[in-house]
Amino acid sequence: MPDFDWGFTLLLVSSGVMIGLMYSLIALGFVLVYKATDAINFAQGEFVMFAAIMAAASMDAGIPFWLAALLALTGMIAFCFGLERIVLRRLLGRPIIAVIMATIGLASLIRGFATLVFGAGVRAITLPIGDDPLYLGPIMLPPVQLVGACVSLVFLAGFTWFFLRTRMGVAMRAVADNQTVSMGMGINVQRYFALAWALTGVVSALGGIIWGAMLGVDNQLPLVGLKVFPVVIMGGLDSIIGAVVGGLIVGVVEALAAGYLDPLVGGGTKDFAPYVLMILMLVVRPYGLFGTRRIDRI
């Protein structure tokens, strides 16, 4: 077991904070869908993988990074619009379980389709930022993680402003609260339903490019979506602030477990530590740290 010292701990915490912010960006996809539809998108990890594959395949074809990123972004927006129009719009007014089961089936379809068309090999996404890490005393900041953390912060702040300060954001929250009442108040539920999925496509494209650059792109990338699930449970399914705080907690816990517990037990603790936190949160505070507490009276 490594000797405990502040420099090593600070290095682990800084790495955990950056990874946590990158988790938060993907967790935002869960939050966006839940805020607008009151359902959980279990295909979020597959969305991330699909966006990363589009970017990587474009770069393999000789397309510059920025154009490949734009193609992935527009492709995911178009995909999510089409998905909402063809499949999910027909589920409006149906029980929430119908939407959840549709996303579970969609996850399998996306993973199988991506493997069939693009193969199971690992593809690379190279960001035009160099490979030399930035050193701040004992802290080492890898360029990919630093860019990912900065992008996550910008978009998390932007979405927070959108939901709290704009009419469209307020309307989306109203739709999530009660679709029937929203229709009665003159809100076009279908429009905001589509907008929520389109914003999820944006988040998925950004997350796919960042995580694809850090881990490589293959059919195992959707596992990132499963690792993000404890983040949204801890923070609260309907809270953007909760996604940020939950991501930071999970990222730091993972880093500390990898640094101090993995050498002691031979590895693996960082993989299940977030799920231990998730179970404890469900027992103590099932709606999360910042989630809305709902009381059903009977």
**How many whole angstroms separate alpha carbon 223 and alpha carbon 49?**
9
Residue of 202, 242, 238, 220 lying closest to 23 (CA atoms)? 242
Q: What is the pLDDT of residues 217-256, one digit of tens each?
A: 988 888 888 889 899 999 988 888 899 999 999 999 999 9
Q: What is the pLDDT of residues 122-158, one digit of tens each?
A: 888 988 887 788 887 778 888 888 888 998 899 888 8
Q: What pLDDT is recorded for position 298?
A: 53
Q: With contact defined as beta carbons under 8 Å apart, do 47 and 58 qualify?
A: no
pLDDT at 278 > cutoff 50: yes
pLDDT at 4 > cutoff 60: no
Per the confidence metrics, is the pTM higher than 0.85?
yes
**How many whole angstroms separate alpha carbon 64 and alpha carbon 149?**
23
**How many whole angstroms separate alpha carbon 146 and alpha carbon 177?**
36
Q: What pLDDT is recorded for position 296?
A: 54
The answer for residues whose C-beta is within 8 angstroms of residue 237's C-beta and 6 or more apart is 30, 31, 34, 40, 287, 288, 291
Q: With contact defined as beta carbons under 8 Å apart, do 175 and 12 qualify?
A: no
The answer for residues whose C-beta is within 8 angstroms of residue 227's C-beta and 6 or more apart is 23, 250, 274
Q: What pLDDT is recorded for position 92?
A: 67
Q: What is the pLDDT of residues 98-128, one digit of tens each?
A: 888 888 999 999 998 888 888 778 888 988 8
Q: How many residues does the chain have?
A: 298
Q: What is the DSSP letter of 91?
A: G
Tokens coding 39: 């359902």
